[in-house]
Homo-oligomer: A and B are copies of this chain.
């Protein structure tokens, strides 16, 4: 039995349909399961209730429904040896890069200016930005794909990650000095990091102060990466040209938050990239077969690292 739990109703329906089509013999239930919990062998979840995973005594693995696993790791009662998996989905990656490329072009091509000029009915040419440099925090599957696509579009792209990466055309930085060096050369800073104890609040005053004057910040990964007061201060004092924010410390973003009405902030409701159940189902099913036949599981999370 596979339990779908701690995920949105729409997502649960898509997974149910995709799994019914791809594996009609797999029993799929919606959680949290109250009766016969011992029958649950596998779980797919974004943010399970605290203790829910521990209540399934025969659970063989937990698979995250999206790219990030922070919603699962926050449950302190998660059994320490329970394998934790994630999905590395082609469609999710492509969608994330679409969001990132759009946000970078929005800044680079001064779209906000042209939208405002149109609203005033004014034919008002602004000088073209040239040589916009993009820095990407995180060069995992998502960051590497966005970096490649931005590079094809002609942007100079660099990235920062825990370990050095060899990606054609992409300069790779690591460590605290590398973070400062990358930030100092990023006209657009794109955040594609996992949320871990090391990355929480990484977008703070110290980092924002290193950015070139008039830089732009793009965050489609996790709201917890941002120290909101620091980002708002940098937006309001003019150091930053603006920001594109898809994720927030509290979601849905409460009505009283200044991001909503800030003229240079683009707010989207955590839609940068959703997992496509049809595309990702084969990965989940492969891991179920592996678990049943005792073979190694794929895409395992290193809990200590946090991703």
Q: Which chain A residues have a beta carbon within 8 Å of chain B's beta carbons?
A: 94-95, 97-99, 101-102, 105-106, 108-109, 111, 114-115, 117-118, 121, 123-126, 128, 149, 152-154, 251-253, 255, 260-261, 266-271, 274
Contact = CB atoms under 8 A, between A and B. Distances in A.
B117 A106 contact: no
A266 B109 CA distance: 13
Contacts of A270: 125
Given A253-B123, A274-B128, A118 B267 contact: yes
A105 B190 CA distance: 18
Contact of A94 (B99, B115, B154, B253): B154
Contact of A117 (B115, B154, B269): B269
13 contacts: A97-B153, A98-B108, A102-B102, A102-B111, A114-B269, A115-B266, A118-B260, A121-B255, A123-B252, A123-B253, A123-B269, A125-B269, A126-B271
A125 B152 CA distance: 30
Contacts of A102: 102, 105-106, 109, 111
Interface centre among A95, A102, A106 (most CB of B within 10 A): A102
A153 B269 contact: no
A305 B275 CA distance: 48
A187 to B, nearest CB: 14
Oligomer copy total: 2
A51 to B, nearest CB: 28
Nearest to A117: B269
A95 B105 CA distance: 10
Given A121-B261, A125-B269, A269-B124, A98 B105 contact: yes
A271 B128 contact: yes
A232 B266 CA distance: 29
Contact of A105 (B101, B268, B271): B101
A118 B271 CA distance: 13
A127 to B, nearest CB: 8
A46 to B, nearest CB: 14
B109 A98 contact: yes
A253 B251 CA distance: 42
Contacts of A124: 269
A271 B114 contact: yes
A123 to B, nearest CB: 4
Contacts of A126: 271
Contacts of A114: 266-269, 271
A253 B269 CA distance: 35
Nearest to A132: B98
Contacts of A268: 114, 118
A99 B253 CA distance: 31
Given A98-B108, A118-B260, A153-B149, A125 B271 contact: yes
A94 B128 CA distance: 13
Contacts of A121: 255, 260-261
